[in-house]
Amino acid sequence: MPTRTTIVVDQDGGIDDALALILMARTPGIEIAGVGSVHGNVTAETAASNSLRALELAGNHTTPVAVGAAEPLAQPLHLAHPEDLLGKLAGTPKRAPAPEETAAEQLVRLAHEHAGEIDLLTLGPLTNIALALRTEPDLPRLLRRVVSMAGAVTVKGNISEHAESNVWHDPEAAAEVTAAGFDLTLVPLDVTRKATVTRLWLERLATDQDRLRGRVAAMLLTAPGKLPAFPLHDPLAGAILLDPTIATYRHSPITVDLTDHHRGQTCATETDLAPPVAVVTGADTSALLDQLLQALLQRPR
């Protein structure tokens, strides 16, 4: 791994997006050149505010955040969590998003400024990436690699029987991005569903009661009944970007179904007419939990 890795994060404002951002911001040798927001969990504007909140919690007060696509390319807007739990927990950020460019414009600019050096981490619908690709068809060659939390290849979806949420929110964008020829790693529900927090992990986090994350962990531990499942979808994608060796892969072209019945379904195919994608088939979730705990317990620099 290079001594300094430059990344751009595209996210849709959920709690696990925030955890992934904190992980990236707290990892030595990682420079976050920009963050983009997109519709998905919440509106693009709210997702931008939530990323600013997450960066501030991590001690990052300089990375520019750009508001991205407010709606999908070809279907009505649907928000998964419009109640915005993260915003209610974390309060108002001190900074505002950068007004001068959209998330897609920011990505294209940074890709040119750091040609061949940027790793892109996508944690939400792929609308911004598709828009950037339409503006700059050479984007797959300008970016070093792309790691996307997206898809459900051999398992059922989490928003419909067939589709994972990030793909379902904008299947046309996902289809364009997976076919574009990026050095693309797909981190699907097949593996992220297995990356869940444990009681011991929460107990270690709850020792830090003077900060929000410790209080939230303590609250989860005192909830009646069985410990609620909390899959770390987005942090796992971030951990795999940081250390690809924690995962195993199958290389296969990916198609995205755009028909009504199976809309948003991602399928691994055997065709040689589409570029291969590195699909994660297994991951060391204990490595993720260790990395994330260290990042969360670390005091801001």
Residue 93, CA distances (Å) to 53, 65, 282 in order: 5, 12, 36
Alpha-carbon distance values, 14 to 67, 288, 295 (Å)? 15, 18, 18
C-alpha to C-alpha distance for 152 and 170, rounded to whole angstroms? 14
For residue 231, what is the DSSP state?
B
- Catalytic: 233? yes
Q: Which of 114, 169, 233, 262 is catalytic?
A: 233
Structure tokens at 74: 């070809």
- CA–CA separation, 99 and 195 (whole Å): 36
Neighbours of 269 (CB within 10 A): 12
Q: Are 25 and 55 in contact (CB under 8 A)?
A: yes
Radius of gyration (C-alpha) of the chain in whole angstroms:
18
Helix H, strand E, coil C: the string for 88-150 is HHHCCCCCCCCCCCCHHHHHHHHHHHCCCCEEEEECCCCHHHHHHHHHCCCHHHHCCEEEEEC
Catalytic residue numbers read 233
